[in-house]
């Protein structure tokens, strides 16, 4: 499988203050996806670690997985 041809479900979670994987890269991946079932979550005020410690983000993650 070539990743730019992937059309399955896609959840991209990015951290606003991430210096390891800049949010712009996550946004670029999301924009390039041909998936009809995709969601982008930007977690404010957090770096590379701890994105899923945010209650709202965890709920969005769980909702996405549940709907698969």
Provide the pLDDT for residue 6: 86
- pLDDT given at position 53: 94
What is the Cα–Cα distance from 57 to 33, expressed in whole angstroms? 21
What's residue 13's pLDDT?
A: 97
Q: Give per-residue pLDDT as tens, 33-60.
A: 999 999 999 999 999 999 999 999 999 9
Q: Would you kindly state where each structural domain of the chain is located, as residue ranges?
A: 3-66
Please write the tens of the pLDDT for every residue from 6-40.
Answer: 899 999 999 999 999 999 999 999 999 999 999 99
Which pLDDT score is estimated for 5?
A: 82
Tokens of residue 39, six digits: 């969601």
Distance CA(64)–CA(5), nearest Å, equals 21
Output the pLDDT for position 9: 97
């Amino acid at each position: 499988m070539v990743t730019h041809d992937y059309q399955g479900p896609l959840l991209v979670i990015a951290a606003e203050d991430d210096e390891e994987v800049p949010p712009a890269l996550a946004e670029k991946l999301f924009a390039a996806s041909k998936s009809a079932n995709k969601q982008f979550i930007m977690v404010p005020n957090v770096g590379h670690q701890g994105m899923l410690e945010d209650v709202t983000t965890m709920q969005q993650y769980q909702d996405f997985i549940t709907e698969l």
